[in-house]
C-alpha cells in the first residue's frame, strides 16, 4: 500500500511538472498551426527527459565532488537520485512513443525503438538512433539502481559508467534533431550551457579522485 501511495504521488508530481512545462513551452516557442498534439507532446517530454537526466547526473556527480558535496548532501538521497532517473526514462518513453500518433512524422515502432533502422526524412535518422541507444542505457541504469542491493558493487559501478555515454548520446540527439533547441536561441543556449556545467563537474571530480588516489598511495608508501 505504501508503495502504491508513493507511486501515485510521483505520478501526480510528474503530471504537474509536465503541465507547467507545457505552458512555458507554449509561451517561449512559437505555435505552429500545422503541428498536431503529438508533436508538441514529443517536444515537451523530450526536454523534460533531458532535465531529469541532467538532475540525475548532477546529483550523482556532485555528491562525490569536493567542491559541491557539502551543498548537495543537504538535499541528496539515493531514493531521489533513483526517482530522477526513472522520471527521465518515463519522459523519454513518452517523447518517442508519442510520435506514433503524429501522422506527419509517419514513424512506426521499428523506427522509434530499433537503432539505425529508420530511414525517415523528418529528422536525421542517425542522431535519432543516438536517442534510442541512450534510452536503453538509461533504462538499464535506472533498473539496476533499484536493484542495487541485489547486485555486486563492482557490477553496479561498471553499469553506471554508462551514464556519461548516455548523456553524450542525448546531447548530440538534441543538438541535431531538437526542434526547440535548434529553433529557439534561449532554449538552445540553456541546453549547451547545462551540458558544459556537467562536463566541468565531471572533470573536477575526476581530477579530485586521481589526486586523492595519488596522495593515498604516497601515504601508504611512506
- DSSP-derived secondary structure letter, 148: G
pTM of model > 0.85 = no
**Any alpha helices (H) in 67-124, and if so which ranges?**
69-72, 78-97, 109-113
Q: Is the pLDDT of residue 145 over 50?
A: yes
Q: How confident is the model at residue 24 (pLDDT cuts 50, 70, 90)?
A: low
Q: Yes or no: say if 160 and 154 are a contact pair by the CB < 8 Å rule.
A: no
Q: How confident is the model at residue 4 (pLDDT cuts 50, 70, 90)?
A: very low
- DSSP-derived secondary structure letter, 98: G
Compute the CA torsion angle 20, 38, 92, 116 (nearest 10 deg): -150
C-alpha–C-alpha distance, residues 46 and 60, integer Å: 21
C-alpha–C-alpha distance, residues 149 and 81, integer Å: 15
Mean pLDDT of 156-169: 86
Which residue do the cell numbers 542522431 mark? Answer: 127
- pLDDT on residue 78: 79
Q: How confident is the model at residue 183 (pLDDT cuts 50, 70, 90)?
A: confident
More confident residue, 86 or 2: 86
Q: How far, in Å, are 20, 26, 47, 123 from residue 188 at the CA level?
A: 19, 16, 11, 17
Q: How confident is the model at residue 5 (pLDDT cuts 50, 70, 90)?
A: very low
Greatest mean pLDDT range, 5-9, 23-27, 147-151, 169-173 = 169-173
Task: Read off the C-alpha cell for 61.
Answer: 556527480
Greatest mean pLDDT range, 26-35, 71-80, 96-105 = 96-105
Core vs surface per residue 196-213: b (16+ CB within 10 A) or e: eebeebbeebeeeeeeee
Q: Is the pLDDT of residue 56 over 60?
A: yes
Amino acid at each position: 500500500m505504501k508503495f502504491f501511495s508513493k507511486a501515485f504521488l510521483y505520478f501526480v508530481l510528474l503530471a504537474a511538472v509536465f503541465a507547467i512545462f507545457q505552458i512555458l513551452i507554449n509561451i517561449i516557442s512559437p505555435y505552429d498551426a500545422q503541428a498536431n498534439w503529438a508533436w508538441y507532446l514529443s517536444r515537451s517530454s523530450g526536454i523534460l527527459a533531458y532535465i531529469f537526466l541532467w538532475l540525475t547526473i548532477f546529483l550523482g556527480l556532485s555528491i562525490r565532488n569536493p567542491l559541491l558535496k557539502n551543498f548537495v548532501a543537504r538535499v541528496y538521497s539515493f531514493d531521489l537520485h533513483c526517482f530522477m532517473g526513472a522520471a527521465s526514462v518515463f519522459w523519454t518513453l513518452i517523447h518517442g512513443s508519442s510520435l506514433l500518433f503524429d501522422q506527419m512524422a509517419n514513424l512506426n515502432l521499428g523506427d522509434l525503438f530499433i537503432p539505425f533502422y529508420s530511414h525517415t526524412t523528418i529528422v536525421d535518422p542517425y542522431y535519432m538512433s543516438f536517442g534510442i541507444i541512450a534510452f536503453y542505457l538509461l533504462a538499464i541504469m535506472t533498473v539496476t539502481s533499484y536493484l542495487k542491493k541485489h547486485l555486486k558493487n563492482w557490477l553496479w559501478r561498471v553499469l553506471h559508467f554508462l551514464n556519461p555515454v548516455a548523456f553524450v548520446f542525448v546531447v548530440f540527439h538534441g543538438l541535431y534533431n531538437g526542434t526547440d533547441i535548434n529553433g529557439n536561441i534561449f532554449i538552445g543556449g540553456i541546453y549547451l550551457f547545462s551540458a558544459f556545467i556537467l562536463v566541468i563537474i565531471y572533470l573536477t571530480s575526476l581530477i579530485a579522485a586521481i589526486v586523492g588516489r595519488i596522495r593515498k598511495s604516497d601515504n601508504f608508501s611512506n
